[in-house]
Amino acid sequence: MANPCFCGCSLKTASLIIAIINMILAAISFFMILIWIGILIGAAVPAATKVENGVFVGATLGALISILIVVLIVCIFEFYLALTLKHGADQEDLRKCRIWLIFSAVLFVIEIIFKMVLIIIRGAGPIEYVIFSINIVYCAFSMWVVYEFMTALKSGQVFDTPAASARGTGQV
């Protein structure tokens, strides 16, 4: 069992930090998307009757707003997953950590496919490639840390917390 944390912190602490970072990132994404939806709604109202090349401009903006609403729902789900991980790591609950790991892996694959399609369709600049690469490394590292934390829990490793003390006495 390898500890992927190069900072020397425990797997439990690293999992808690990952949960908090993910909650912050999900909240920031949520509010940024709300702002974009507001901007697009403001642009869609005057464009509702405008026609360019035989296509209503408002219809295109409506499609963008619909996509952003789906992404907004994903942000809410990611926040909930991060909260689940926080409680799972805090309570040393293997089931909650497993839920986070499974759904994060699914979202990770979907996100990679979605971003690759976007890059193929419209291209990307160097900044987008850097952000995309950092995101991939962070997500993979997070899943590795939580997986190792789960492995430690499965092997019966006791962390120095009230939850671990109570688990040893049969009170949990």
Confirm whether pTM is higher than 0.85: no
pLDDT digit string, tens, across residues 39-90: 777 766 665 555 566 555 556 666 777 888 888 999 999 999 999 999 999 9
Any domain includes 163? no
Any domain includes 5? no
Cα–Cα distances (Å) from 41 to 38, 51, 59, 65, in that order, read 5, 17, 11, 7
Segment 165-172 mean pLDDT: 44
The predicted pLDDT at position 2 comes to: 64
Residues 151, 12: contact at Cβ < 8 Å?
A: no
Report the C-alpha gap between 87 and 84 in whole angstroms: 5
Any domain includes 168? no
Report the C-alpha gap between 66 and 71 in whole angstroms: 9
Any domain includes 3? no
Any domain includes 170? no
Any domain includes 172? no
Number of H helices, E strands in the chain: 5, 2
Give me the residues paired with residue 52 across strands.
55
167 band by pLDDT with thresholds 50, 70 and 90: very low
- Give Cα 122 to chain centroid, integer Å: 24
Note down the domain range covering 142. Answer: 11-157
Count of the separate structural domains present in the chain:
1
Any domain includes 164? no
Residues 49, 58: contact at Cβ < 8 Å?
A: yes
Any domain includes 123? yes
Cα–Cα distances (Å) from 110 to 3, 12, 104, in that order, read 27, 27, 10
